[in-house]
Amino acid sequence: MQDRSQYSAAASLLGYIYQCRLALLESLKRLKSDPDIAVAIETLDDVVFEKDGSPTEVIQVKHHIARKASLTNASTDLWKTIRIWCDLFSGGLSEENSILCLMTTEESAENSAARHLRIEGRNIAEAETLLLQTSQTSSNESNKEGYQKFNSLTPEQRRALLERVYILDNCPLSKDLQTHLSEELWGHCERQYADQFLKYLEGWWLQRVVAGIDGSELTDIADKEIDSESLKHKKHKILKITGREIDGQLDSLREQFKSDSLPIHPEIQSADPDVTPFVNLVFAKQLRLIALPEHRIQRAAKNFYKAAEQRSRWVRESLLIDNDLEQYDDILIEEWAIRFDQAKDSLPVDPTSDDQIASGKKVFQWVEAEAHIPIRPSCQESFITRGTYQMLANRLRVGWHPEFQSRLVAQSAEDNL
């Protein structure tokens, strides 16, 4: 039983990820001709495309791991979708131009209602006949509610409903979505960065979707939009992402993937890591030498983590040229050396401990507030500079206290006794 439950959970997760990725693919396709679209990803089933606040397409997404010709007249996927559409149609989906789509990885069976509702070779009258025949003769209990709702429509309502319905079968399998997404993004960046461009876009997209799942950006569907009693019992919450927002992210990524920039991964940019593993590293000990408050040490630790993660990501993704990181580190060290020597030379001949701490704080305050040294001209994220300085401090290549090297070497020797 546990294995079956785990399989069901895994299949549901895979289906939802597929739904999210397919929504991105379909958004990119529509964005070419209409920047004013909005896509609404429901927490359970639908993807809805809107314009001016009204739905233009309501898409049911059905994912199956393997391709099979099982979209028959009594298909459970088909009748679950018809049930939902009947609710929408009879309850308040009144936009004449609204399209209802079933996008499925399955293939519609020959001479089936689904085959007659495809874009090519549409025959609405034949589809209606086959669906009515199935709903009145099939004993499939799983489809019973769908059968009842379809039969409860008047002939005029059934025809009006089916005129809006499009079955898009043979949709890309999950394993093939990567190729289709890459094709839609062709020309957005240099060829060698295409895979990474897509990864960063999907990272942003899934982060936006997750923001909806956790409730921080969900929007209620108004009762006037969907008035069906059978839908009201559900919490109908959706996440809306506008075409303008997608366009903006594409523009941002195009800039980041130019030769004078580097992309910043959204998960790293917004990360709020547990810094407990870092607060006893050498860079943190350096900050305690200048009596820095713990909350500032924790902030430095976050920058340390984020810079280390992003630098590692750039290396793994082959986004750097030759010895970019080594050259960047050398530039930071050179700039630090000027400030460090200036602060040290300003000390009195026989400095007190407080004098030395004040000198170190002055150097570190420069790192916190003024040292804006991008690794590339258009890569402007400040945590890269601040965090890289912490990485260098962790290796004792830079420091803040005038005697940071001798004191930390001595402290290390004591710790090893």
User: Which residues are CB-neighbours of 173 under 8 A, at least 6 positions away?
Assistant: 65, 66, 67, 105
For residue 357, what pLDDT band results from cuts at 50, 70 and 90? very high
- Which position has the higher pLDDT, 361 or 26? 361
Assess if residue 370 is contained within a domain. yes
- Residue 239's closest CA among 27, 16, 48? 48
Q: Which spans in 216-323 are helix H?
A: 229-232, 243-256, 266-269, 282-289, 294-316
Q: What is the pLDDT of residues 142-156, one digit of tens each?
A: 999 999 999 999 999
How confident is the model over 318-332, as a mean pLDDT? 93
Q: Are residues 278 and 248 in the same domain?
A: no
| Residue 141 DSSP one-character state | G
Assess if residue 383 is contained within a domain. yes
Q: Are residues 24 and 95 in the same domain?
A: yes
For residue 6, what pLDDT band results from cuts at 50, 70 and 90? very low
pLDDT at 45: 54
Q: Is the pLDDT of residue 172 over 90?
A: no
Q: Is the pLDDT of residue 235 over 60?
A: no
Q: Are residues 287 and 346 in the same domain?
A: yes
Q: Is the pLDDT of residue 119 over 50?
A: yes
Asked which of 77-86, 98-107, 352-361 is least confident by mean pLDDT, the reply is 98-107
How confident is the model over 78-104, as a mean pLDDT? 78
Q: Is the pLDDT of residue 163 over 60?
A: yes
Query: Domain count of the chain?
Result: 2
pLDDT at 13: 60
Q: Are residues 289 and 409 in the same domain?
A: yes
pLDDT at 410: 72
Q: What is the pLDDT of residues 184-202, one digit of tens each?
A: 898 888 888 888 899 889 8
Assess if residue 287 is contained within a domain. yes
DSSP 173-241: PGGGHHHHHHHHTTTSS-GGGHHHHHHHHHHHHHHHHHHHHTTTT-EEPPTTT---HHHHTS--EEEEE
Q: Are residues 230 and 337 in the same domain?
A: no
Q: Are residues 202 and 278 in the same domain?
A: no
Assess if residue 143 is contained within a domain. yes
pLDDT at 287: 97
pLDDT at 325: 96
Domain boundary among 256, 291, 309: 256
Instruction: Quote the percentage of the chain above a pLDDT of 90.
Output: 46
Domain boundary among 203, 229, 256: 256
pLDDT at 227: 39
Q: Is the pLDDT of residue 161 over 60?
A: yes
List the structure tokens of 266.
């959204």
Q: Is the pLDDT of residue 176 over 80?
A: yes
Q: Are residues 229 and 289 in the same domain?
A: no
Domain boundary among 196, 223, 256: 256
Assess if residue 323 is contained within a domain. yes
Range of the domain at 329: 266-415
Is residue 211 a contact partner of residue 239, using CB atoms and an 8 Å limit? yes
- Residue 372's closest CA among 380, 364, 362? 380
pLDDT at 368: 95
Assess if residue 169 is contained within a domain. yes
Position 281, amino acid: L
Q: Is the pLDDT of residue 115 over 60?
A: yes
Asked which of 5-9, 156-160, 202-206, 381-385 is least confident by mean pLDDT, the reply is 5-9
User: Which helix (H) or strand (E) element contains residue 321?
Assistant: none
Q: Is the pLDDT of residue 222 over 50?
A: no
List the structure tokens of 247.
């366009």
How confident is the model over 211-235, as a mean pLDDT? 44
For residue 66, what pLDDT band results from cuts at 50, 70 and 90? low
| Residue 108 DSSP one-character state | B
pLDDT at 351: 94
Assess if residue 86 is contained within a domain. yes
- Which position has the higher pLDDT, 19 or 289? 289
Assess if residue 261 is contained within a domain. no
Q: Are residues 284 and 208 in the same domain?
A: no
Helix (H, G, I), strand (E, B) or coil at 55: strand
Q: Are residues 216 and 273 in the same domain?
A: no
Q: Are residues 279 and 236 in the same domain?
A: no
pLDDT at 23: 86
Q: Is the pLDDT of residue 225 over 50?
A: no
Q: Strands 99-104, 54-62: parallel, antiparallel or unpaired by DSSP?
A: parallel
pLDDT at 404: 95
Q: Are residues 49 and 198 in the same domain?
A: yes
Is the CA virtual torsion 30, 33, 35, 36 positive or negative?
negative
List the structure tokens of 100.
């209802």
Q: Are residues 204 and 302 in the same domain?
A: no
Helix (H, G, I), strand (E, B) or coil at 305: helix
